[in-house]
Amino acid sequence: MMTKKFPLLLFFLLIFMYSYSQSKITIKGLITDKENYPIIYAGVGIIKKNIGTTSTEEGTFRFYVTNKELNDTLEISSIGYHTYKVLIKDFINNKNKKIILNEKTTELSEISIMTTEEYVNKAIKSLKQNTISKNHQLNILYRRWSVEDNICRFYIEHFINVIDKGPSSYMRKYSIKESRKSSEYRFVKNLQNRHAIEYMEMNNPLRQGIYMNDYTWKKVKNSSYDGEDINIIEGVDKSNLITLFIGYDTYRIYRIEITRKPPKIGKYLHAIYLYKKNKEGKLYLSYHKREWQGSARIPQNVKRLLSQKNKSIGDYMPIAFRHEAYVLALEEDKKKFDTYETTEKKDMSLYEIPYNATFWNTVSLPPKTKFYTKNSKELESLYGVPIETQFKYSNQ
């Protein structure tokens, strides 16, 4: 009897050992400079395996690996600093999870023999060769906070798989896999006529196409990124300010910032797009953040209700959308792409997706930043209900 049971016992033991070997290991830490200031938006991860994340505005980061990655190298790159490298297993064994990056000084120099306009034009024309321009899948954690009368009144979060072709082209399709939202305390309930991730694409000046002659271009600073000197160039037209962070030799565009101010339809927008390298050195989106501010007419029934507390209320209420998108994973093998469904064009809050508590408890979420906490506390203060409780009961 013992000899018959032993192979079965060994089988289950091997299954357990295999499962254990594949278990997730949390990699988290803090990135600062020598003056102890946090370094934001740093690229963090294992480049050769396309695993990683982006540091938050507090300089913190978190992502998962398995035992297969213990002998791989963790790389941290940020504009203006030397790239930091350490073995994953050494980082895990080190009790101090604080990483200090050394600043790289670069002298301000001319842009070779080209004018600034020619240099920007060269970078834009090199987009296809410098980025992943074939179909690739991005697993994106997309967040949106709805603000009314200067307080956050609704929050929604989607986990989305996107088929993209990089900034030289457009997203091919996307599928919303998971969703969770807070309780809703909005008055005017401003809705977007399509998913917010489409506006992320539409507001990217590289995808829109930059009309060079509309802008006045000037070089404002030199810096560096991952061993390459970069030029920081600003372009200004009547209502837009675009800032491009361009590799001196490769013409790679590592970062884009755009600010759109009134009087253009009376609305304000500020957006940031960050790109990092894959194992072949091609760039792909790693992080996005934007804030849109405007105003909305207050419905009469809401106005009557609010006027009981504030007699001076006008016809319009200030509103805003705050957005944040983290790319949690990159997949370039088409055989491993997810299945895709037709995604309707409607506001994020109108998708009916069952709440999966197990997913949200196990997915590699970024650290809770001051920004995230501030918005959550504003929501919690309205009725005194913790955000986690809101997730539990608002998604039934």
121-151 tens-digit pLDDT: 999 999 999 999 999 999 999 999 999 989 9
Could you read off the pLDDT of 271-284 as tens digits, one per residue? 999 999 999 999 99
Cis-peptide, bond into residue 263, ω within 30° of zero: yes
- Residue 341 pLDDT > 90, yes or no? no
Write out the E strands in the chain.
25-32, 43-46, 51-54, 60-65, 73-77, 84-87, 98-100, 136-148, 151-164, 173-181, 216-225, 228-236, 240-247, 253-260, 268-277, 283-297, 316-331
Residue with tokens 């299945």: 339
Q: Would you state the pLDDT for residue 309?
A: 64
Contact of 257 with 269, CB cutoff 8 Å: no
Q: State which H helix or E strand residue 125 sits in.
A: helix 116-125
Domain boundaries, the chain: 14-100, 116-394
Q: Would you state the pLDDT for residue 2?
A: 46
Q: Would you state the pLDDT for residue 105?
A: 78
More confident residue, 18 or 55: 55
The region of weakest confidence among 242-246, 251-255, 264-268 is: 264-268
- Residue 292 pLDDT > 90, yes or no? yes
- Residue 312 pLDDT > 90, yes or no? no
- Residue 270 pLDDT > 60, yes or no? yes
pLDDT band at 314 (very low <50, low <70, confident <90, very high): confident
- Residue 331 pLDDT > 70, yes or no? yes
Compute the distance between CA of residue 317 and CA of residue 303 in angstroms, rounded to an integer: 10
> 2.30.30.230, 3.30.9.10, 2.60.40.1120, 3.40.50.880: which CATH number matches 14-100?
2.60.40.1120
CA dihedral 120, 122, 125, 128 (to 10 degrees): -100
Tell me the mean pLDDT in the region 108-132.
85
Residue with tokens 């074939």: 134
Q: State which H helix or E strand residue 206 sits in.
A: helix 205-208
Could you read off the pLDDT of 82-107 as tens digits, one per residue? 999 999 999 999 999 999 999 987 76
Tell me the mean pLDDT in the region 350-377.
91
Tell me the mean pLDDT in the region 201-218.
91
